[in-house]
Amino acid sequence: MRLRSWRGTTAVAASARRKFPWVRVSLVLLVVAILVYLLLPGYFFVSADALVQGDLVPVTPIYRARIDRLFVSCDQRVRAGQKLAVISNFLVQADYQREYEESLTSLDLSKIALDQGVAEARTEEEATREKYIAAVATAHRLELTFKSYDRAYKAGAIARVDWDAKRGDWQAAVATADSLKEQVARDEQRVQRVIVDQKAKIAVDEEASQREQGIVQRVGSETMLAPVSGYIVDCKMRPDNVVEPGAPVFDIFEPRRAYVLAFFNPASLDKVHIGQRVDVQVTGLPKKVLGRVVGVYPDLAKLPDQLTRFFWQHEQWSEYRPVRIALDTLPPALRDQLYYDAQTHVRIRLRSDWPRLFGWSWPARN
């Protein structure tokens, strides 16, 4: 029976079927994925951004110098002994030229002193020798006199007192001659000692003079050579720049001295220990390499500019603990591909058995 009313017939519509909430499910899965991405890695491993660093070899002048010419540019690979630059300093050259002239004067004075010292020693030696000759002649004369007195004494012609007096005179003359003979020997030794000492002094002065002359020539124009093979980094000098003594004109990055400097969050440092193995992914290398933690720096540091990507990574918001990682197992072929300040990502595995939770296993390392 159909009900009717003054409004007409009311049709009863069938209920619509509810759709599956794909949007809600997608949002829930996204939240779960974000939580897994943020929390799960921190439980199984700790990671950080890093840079390839190295013990740089500085190329420095020994004096205040002016750069006249540069033969190399930044990031260029150089060989040991290769010419890097020509430097000079005419002001310093004038100082060394004055020292060189003073060394020549000292050398001339040493030669004059040698001549004077040897002449004086030989004059004394000749005077002593003349006295010795005279003493020998006197002793010989007194010996002859004593022998005549000795014959007369034996014949009874003279008294014992006269014989003793002549004998004493002769013995005294012999003693004087022997003493002068020893003095002549000492004077001869003194002449030789003066010659040796003065020649040694002259040799020292000549060496100093040659050294000063070499410095004058080097200061006037010296070519700087690369002490090791590697890459030129930190290029700051230009022609006509003045460099102070000991200040580097170049720094050379030698790949065999390379290491990785990672910047870890201080909160994760309790998980980092000396000797831990580290997976290192260097930008530009085809595969990951195995590293080893060799040092944890005690002071906090800001993140380098080339690694700073987000505002919360700036120094006013956060600081990091640098950790030094050695690349002991890096093959020489790959080590030569390293370049200074290359961006790197490192990861330290904390629980190596976590894949077994999902039925996985790590491939064995060779």
Rounded CA-CA distance 36/96 in Å is 71
pLDDT tens digits, one per residue of 59-112? 988 878 888 889 998 888 999 999 999 887 765 656 666 776 676 777 677 777
* Cα-to-chain-centroid distance, residue 17: 82
Residue 41 has pLDDT above 60, yes or no: no
Could you tell me the residue ranges of all domains in the chain?
A: 46-55+254-358, 64-88+223-243, 91-220
- Give the C-alpha separation, 218 to 181, whole Å: 56
Q: Which residue has the higher pLDDT, 162 or 232?
A: 232
Q: Which helix (H) or strand (E) holds 262?
A: strand 258-264
CATH code of the domain occupying 91-220? 1.10.287
Which token pair is 251? 């720094």
Mean pLDDT of the chain: 79
Tokens of 250: 């170049």
The whole-angstrom separation of Cα 218 and Cα 180 is: 56
Joined together, the tokens standing for residue 23 give 């949007």
Global confidence as pTM: 0.54
The H or E element that residue 145 is part of is helix 90-155
Closest to 149 in 3D by CA, of 172, 167, 135: 167
Amino acid 45: pLDDT: 81
CA-based nearest residue to 248, from 230, 226, 215, 218? 226
CATH 2.40.50.100 fits 64-88+223-243, yes or no: yes
46-55+254-358 and 64-88+223-243: identical CATH topology: no
User: Which fold would CATH assign to domain 46-55+254-358?
Assistant: Elongation Factor Tu (Ef-tu); domain 3 (2.40.30)
Cα four-point dihedral sign 202, 207, 208, 212: positive
Spatial separation of the C-alpha atoms in residues 220 and 239, rounded to whole Å: 16
Strands 230-233 vs 250-253: parallel, antiparallel or unpaired: antiparallel
3-state SS string for 174-225: HHHHHHHHHHHHHHHHHHHHHHHHHHHHHHHHHHHHHHHHHHHHHHHCEEEE
